[in-house]
């Protein structure tokens, strides 16, 4: 089985990025924080109904209540408004790097667990630099940008508390090509693994298992191994990439492969026979792809293969070569 390895890096400064949040679990339902309206009869601000007053007659005279006869003399009671503070939040890619201007998810939790052991979600905000009003007290602030996150306990008083977080994240955007042709998004997929493919201990589990071409994935700065699968056979490319904080890295992964259509025909150029079972194997006998159909399509890495066709109890085969970027048909003659 042949593997190819090639990639092109282009690193540009990060602009506004709508990050794909691959492990962003749905937050718990925030508690009801809005107080219930006071009970009692509703107060209407509409004018009283009835016939319109005559402009030549004085309006009704309202007598002030008399003390001691069903009323109380004195000023109206004032409503007590609880004091609140403001939590002003920002995040940066690094100490001396720009402020992050999109893709953030802020969550404020109570600092003590409830009777179930969970920390209650108090507020959530997806703004870049939110100002969150909160009653004075202790909280835990959590912020996430893609797969990068940070948390910190804070104390809110009756003024403005400004908190800045550091999220050393960078963006990664991937596409695939065969020769000079861009591979359609529905024919290729990428998985991202932490560390290099050459690290001891073997291949690490994927941290982002299925990345669509053109999507921007936010990752902690560091080295990653990208596994690119073109089709579902043996066109697989592994590439190492370095992600830098505050920058978007564009990577192009090049496959050396082609799309092959298999046909079992009675004669050259004839009609393909239906209900044919196919096996594509390497010269060493390794099975690369199996399928059933009149003319299945398979994407194969460049190299030598044998196509074996089974139809109505008979077996037919043919050797063929795959040339990089040259799509074509492979006909097996049923004789």
Structural domain includes residue 184: yes
User: Given this model, what pLDDT does residue 78 score?
Assistant: 52
Beta bridge partners of 149: 144
Q: In terms of domains, do 266 and 250 share one?
A: no
Decide which of 116, 150, 166 is a domain's last residue. 166
Distance CA 68, CA 326 (A): 103
Domain boundaries, position 106: 85-166
Consecutive 10-residue runs of the chain (335 residues): their mean pLDDT?
A: 45 49 44 41 38 39 42 51 87 93 96 92 96 96 96 95 96 95 95 92 88 94 96 96 96 97 94 95 95 95 97 95 96 93
What pLDDT is attached to residue 202? 77
In a shared domain, residues 227 and 270: no
Does a structural domain hold residue 213? Answer: yes
Domain presence at residue 246: yes
Q: What's residue 83's pLDDT?
A: 85
Domain termination site, one of 237, 255, 273: 255
**pLDDT at position 212, please?**
92
Domain membership of residue 305 (yes or no) is yes
End-to-end CA distance of the chain: 30
Q: Is 245 found in the same domain as 184? A: yes
Query: Does residue 122 form part of some domain?
Result: yes
Residues 274 and 306 occupy one common structural domain: yes
Do 144 and 102 lie in one domain? The reply is: yes
On the CB side of 219, CA atoms within 13 Å amount to: 27
pLDDT of residue 200: 82
Regarding pTM above 0.75, the answer is no
Task: Kindly report the CATH number assigned to the domain that includes residue 134.
Answer: 2.60.40.10
Q: Which of 230, 255, 280 is the last residue of a domain?
A: 255
Domain count, the chain: 3
Q: Is residue 35 part of a domain?
A: no
What's the confidence (pLDDT) of residue 13? 56
Q: CB count, 10 Å around CB of 4?
A: 19
Position 303 in a domain: yes
22 within domain boundaries? no
Task: Give yes or no: residues 274 and 236 share one domain.
Answer: no
């Amino acid at each position: 089985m042949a593997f190819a390895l090639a990639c092109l890096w282009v690193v540009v400064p990060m602009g506004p990025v709508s990050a794909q949040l691959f492990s962003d679990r749905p937050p718990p339902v925030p508690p009801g924080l809005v107080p219930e309206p006071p009970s009692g009869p509703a107060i209407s601000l509409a004018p009283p109904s009835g016939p319109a007053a005559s402009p030549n007659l004085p309006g009704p005279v309202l007598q002030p209540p008399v003390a001691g006869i069903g009323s109380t003399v004195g000023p109206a009671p004032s409503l007590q408004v609880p004091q609140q503070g403001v939590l002003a939040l920002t995040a940066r890619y690094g100490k001396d790097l720009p402020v992050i201007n999109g893709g953030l998810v802020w969550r404020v939790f109570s600092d003590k667990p409830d009777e179930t052991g969970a920390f209650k979600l108090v507020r959530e905000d997806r703004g870049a630099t939110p100002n969150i009003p909160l009653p004075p007290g202790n909280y835990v602030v959590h912020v996430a940008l893609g797969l990068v996150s940070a948390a910190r306990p804070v104390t809110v008083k009756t003024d403005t508390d400004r908190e800045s977080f550091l999220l050393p994240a960078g963006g990664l955007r991937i596409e695939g090509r065969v020769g000079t042709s861009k591979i359609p998004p529905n024919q290729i997929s990428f998985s991202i693994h932490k560390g290099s493919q050459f690290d001891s201990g073997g291949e690490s589990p994927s941290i982002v298992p299925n990345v669509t071409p053109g999507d921007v994935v936010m990752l902690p700065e560091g080295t990653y191994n990208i596994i690119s699968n073109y089709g579902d056979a043996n066109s697989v490319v592994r590439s190492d990439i370095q992600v830098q904080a505050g920058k978007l890295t564009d990577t192009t992964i090049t496959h050396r492969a082609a799309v092959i259509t298999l046909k079992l025909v009675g004669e050259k150029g004839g009609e393909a026979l239906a209900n044919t079972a196919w096996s594509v194997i390497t010269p060493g006998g390794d099975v690369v792809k199996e399928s059933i159909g009149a003319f299945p399509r398979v994407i194969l890495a460049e190299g030598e293969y044998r196509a074996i066709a089974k139809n109505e109890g008979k077996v037919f085969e043919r050797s063929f070569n795959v040339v990089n970027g040259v799509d074509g048909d492979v006909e097996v003659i049923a004789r």
